[in-house]
Amino acid sequence: MDTASVVSSYRRYAKVYVFGLNPGRRQAVQRMDLKSGQRVLEIGVGTGLSLPLYPPEVEITGVDLTAEMLEQAQRRVDLLGLNNVQLHLMDAQKLEFPDNSFDKTVAMFVASVTPDPVAMIREMKRVTRPGGGIYILNHFSRKGSFLSLAEKALSPLSHLLGFEPLFYLDEFLERAGMGGAEDIPIRPFGYWRLLCLQKKGGRPDPNPPRRGGR
Ligand SMILES: C[S@@+](CC[C@H](N)C(=O)[O-])C[C@H]1O[C@@H](n2cnc3c(N)ncnc32)[C@H](O)[C@@H]1O
């Protein structure tokens, strides 16, 4: 995957992107346990399917690499009158925000899309305040499973599909330095997982992600 193929894939998908029924988005927002006035950064916000799920008293900043996806998100924002949302065209691997700008950062179905997920996590950690939370919702491949054979076969087509089908959890956790993250399988199949990591330091989060995973 490279940046040009991500943008060209999601430019094609923008008007027909309907990956809307995944229960993980609602679970991610619930798990963030947001309080009035908190600042959230959503990375790869896409067409903004998650935006109506946030409490209105929370400030949401959404960024995405693909202008056409952001246009759909802006339409949703206007249609629903979401006054708490700001959208920016920006690369998650080089965020233009100062350190410690947000209480929580979240990336839903982006880790296996972005060309360099390790750089994305590094940036998410940088812009999250000490004691804040980092949340990753994504599919993860299971070694030796029947599905992983299909994912392996599709992997060379990732630049056309717009995501990397073969994406192992343990490798991602290690490379991204997310080893202490809580790992919550999304029912019914657990194919999608929600990873929750608390950034070290700062005042304690009243509802911190549990360490060690499951
Ligand atoms: C599968 S879509 C997910 C969209 C949305 N998060 C959702 O839940 O529907 C992946 C999105 O990530 C965006 N993306 C990929 N790499 C990115 C990067 N480096 N920076 C910002 N956005 C990125 C793509 O443009 C696309 O809109």
Paired residues of 138 in beta bridges: 193
Pick from 56, 19, 38: which is nearest to 137 by CA?
A: 19
Site of tokens 């994406």: 167
> Does the C-beta of 196 come closer than 6 Å to ligand 1?
no
Distance (Å, whole) CA 206 – CA 3: 37
Cis, bond preceding 188 (omega within 30 deg of 0): yes
pLDDT digit string, tens, across residues 151-183: 888 888 888 877 888 888 999 999 999 989 999
Which ligand 1 atom is the nearest neighbour of the CA of 22? Answer: 8
159 Cα to the center of ligand 1, angstroms? 14
Q: List the domains of the chain with CATH numbers.
A: 3-198 (3.40.50.150)
Structure tokens at 205: 């989060």
Would you place residue 213 in the very low, low, confident or very high pLDDT band (cuts 50, 70, 90)? very low
Pick from 3, 18, 4, 35: which is nearest to 131 by CA?
A: 35
Say whether pTM exceeds 0.85.
Answer: yes
pLDDT digit string, tens, across residues 100-122: 999 999 999 999 999 999 999 99
* pLDDT given at position 205: 59
Residue type, 31: R
3-state helix vs strand vs coil in the chain, percent to 5: 35, 20, 40
Nearest 5°: phi and psi at 92? -65, -20
> Does the C-beta of 66 come closer than 6 Å to ligand 1?
yes
Distance (Å, whole) CA 65 – CA 60: 17
* pLDDT given at position 72: 95
203 Cα to the center of ligand 1, angstroms? 31
> Does the C-beta of 105 come closer than 6 Å to ligand 1?
no
Q: What is the DSSP letter of 165?
A: S
